[in-house]
């Protein structure tokens, strides 16, 4: 990429890249998959216990041959035993974990992007990163065929009154192209610098995504596009959407 220098200083200084550990790391997911796109989910152990199995079930209900990767953030050593018991790691779904205790819970929302960069390097495949409490309501075949023409896709709510809510961080597509890696490195530097300075707070993930989108879109450095409105909803049931990130009582539907 011309006129664009990749800098890794922020996350190299934090020395966190070697803290991720992989389980059943030789698995390539379901060998019958019609595409090599990987659904990636991230969460601390309590969220994994509460939401992961329903989310996995909803992915596979409509996308039977989907490849799934789960990254778990553990608070203490005892959590490792609990994680192994909880996940019953024996299928083709791949897993990774780390021990991470952020100063604020906002750290969980941004750390996933650090790991997303590493998963990009490991899998060399397109990635759909989802909130771990998402509900999948349809087949992704059509969407993936569209999205693969982009380097990155994110869900924008451009006219939201609050600037920190103009990006929804719960549905992101990363092509697997070299250009999409520049987008991830931008995000990782952004979030790791905030963590280094002790300034992580709620909505940092949305603001980082918005900053990355505005930077790359304005300079036409990569092909970054918006996820179509009909593919996602976050506040009501919509029969046309693929991803629902439900809040409050809607989670019980």
Angle, vertex CA 133, rays to CA 77 and CA 148, nearest 5: 105
Q: For residues 59 and 89, is the Cβ–Cβ distance under 8 A?
A: no
- What's the confidence (pLDDT) of residue 166? 64
Alpha carbons within 13 angstroms on the beta-carbon side of residue 121 total 9
CB 223 within 8 A of CB 179: yes
Residue 109: name the closest of 118, 120, 100, 119 by CA. Answer: 100
Q: Cα–Cα distance between 140 and 137 in angstroms, integer?
A: 9
CA distances 206 to 121, 157, 167, 241, 249, Å, are 23, 11, 5, 21, 24
What is the pTM assigned to this prediction? 0.86
Q: Give dist(CA 205, CA 168) in Å, integer.
A: 9
Q: Which two tokens stand for residue 99?
A: 């021990």
**Which positions of the chain have pLDDT values less than 70?**
1-19, 24-35, 88-92, 158-166, 234-237, 246-253
Please give the sequence-ordered ranges of beta strands (E in DSSP) within the chain, or none if there are none: 21-23, 38-44, 67-74, 94-99, 127-130, 135-136, 152-156, 167-174, 224-226, 232-233, 243-244
CB 83 within 8 A of CB 45: yes
Q: Write out the two tokens for 119.
A: 């998963």
Dihedral pair phi/psi, residue 14, rounded to 5°: -75, -15
Distance CA(42)–CA(26), nearest Å, equals: 20
CATH number assigned to the domain covering 9-252: 3.90.550.10
pLDDT value for 156: 84
CB 128 within 8 A of CB 117: no
pLDDT at 249: 55
Domain ranges for the chain, please list them: 9-252
């Amino acid at each position: 990429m011309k006129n664009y220098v990749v800098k890794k200083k922020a996350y190299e200084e934090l020395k966190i890249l070697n803290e991720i550990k992989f389980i059943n790391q030789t698995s390539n997911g379901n060998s019958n998959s019609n595409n090599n796109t990987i659904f990636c989910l991230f969460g601390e152990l309590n969220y994994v216990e509460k939401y992961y199995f329903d989310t996995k079930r909803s992915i596979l209900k409509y996308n039977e041959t989907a490849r799934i990767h789960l990254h778990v953030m553990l608070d203490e050593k005892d959590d490792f035993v609990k994680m192994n018991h909880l996940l019953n790691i024996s299928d083709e779904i791949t897993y990774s974990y780390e021990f991470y205790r952020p100063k604020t819970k906002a750290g969980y929302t941004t750390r996933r992007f650090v790991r997303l960069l590493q998963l990009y390097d490991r899998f060399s495949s397109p990635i759909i990163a989802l909130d771990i409490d998402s509900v999948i309501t349809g087949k992704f075949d059509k969407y993936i065929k569209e999205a693969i023409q982009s380097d990155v896709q994110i869900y924008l709510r451009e006219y939201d009154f609050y600037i920190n809510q103009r990006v929804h961080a719960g549905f992101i597509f990363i092509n697997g192209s070299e250009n999409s890696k520049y987008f991830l490195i931008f995000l990782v530097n952004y979030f790791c610098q905030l963590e280094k300075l002790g300034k992580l707070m709620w909505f940092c993930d949305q603001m980082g995504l918005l900053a990355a989108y505005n930077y790359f879109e304005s300079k036409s450095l990569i092909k970054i596009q918006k996820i179509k409105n009909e593919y996602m909803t976050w506040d009501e049931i919509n029969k046309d959407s693929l991803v629902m990130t439900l809040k409050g009582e809607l989670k019980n539907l």
